[in-house]
A and B are shown apart, each in its own frame.
Chain A
Amino acid sequence: DIQMTQSPASLSASLEEIVTITCQASQDIGNYLSWYQQKPGKSPQLLIHSATSLADGVPSRFSGSRSGTQYSLKINRLQVEDTGIYYCLQHYSAPWTFGGGTKLELK
Chain B
Amino acid sequence: EVQLVESGGSLVQPGGSLKLSCVASGFTFSNYWMDWVRQTPGKSLEWIGEINTDGSKTNYAPSIKDRFTISRDNAKSTLYLQMSNVKSDDTAIYYCTRLGGYFDYWGQGVMVTVSS
Tally of chain A residues near chain B (CB < 8 A): 23
Residue A74 at the B interface, CB < 8 A? no
Q: A43-B95, A43-B109, A95-B61 are in contact. Are A36 and B103 (CB under 8 A)?
A: yes
Interface hits, A11-43 → B, CB 8 Å? 32, 34, 36, 42-43
Chain A, Cβ-Cβ closest to B45 = A98
The distance from the CB of B68 to the nearest CB of chain A, in whole angstroms, is 13
Q: What residues on B are CB-neighbors of A94 within 8 Å?
A: 47, 50, 59
Query: Which of B45, B99, B101 is within 8 Å of A44, CB to CB?
Result: B45
Q: What residues on A are CB-neighbors of B61 within 8 Å?
A: 95
Q: What residues on B are CB-neighbors of A46 within 8 Å?
A: 102-105
For the residues of B in contact with A, the DSSP-based class is strand
Q: What residues on B are CB-neighbors of A43 within 8 Å?
A: 95, 106-109
The distance from the CB of B40 to the nearest CB of chain A, in whole angstroms, is 12
For the residues of A in contact with B, the DSSP-based class is loop
Residue A76 at the B interface, CB < 8 A? no
Interface hits, A24-71 → B, CB 8 Å? 32, 34, 36, 42-46, 49-50, 55
Q: Which residues of A contact B (CB under 8 A)?
A: 1, 32, 34, 36, 42-46, 49-50, 55, 87, 89, 91, 94-101
30 A-B Cβ contacts within 8 A?
A32-B102, A36-B103, A42-B108, A43-B108, A43-B109, A44-B45, A44-B95, A44-B103, A46-B102, A46-B104, A46-B105, A49-B101, A49-B102, A49-B104, A55-B104, A87-B45, A89-B45, A89-B103, A91-B101, A91-B102, A94-B50, A95-B59, A95-B61, A96-B47, A98-B44, A98-B45, A98-B46, A98-B47, A101-B44, A101-B45
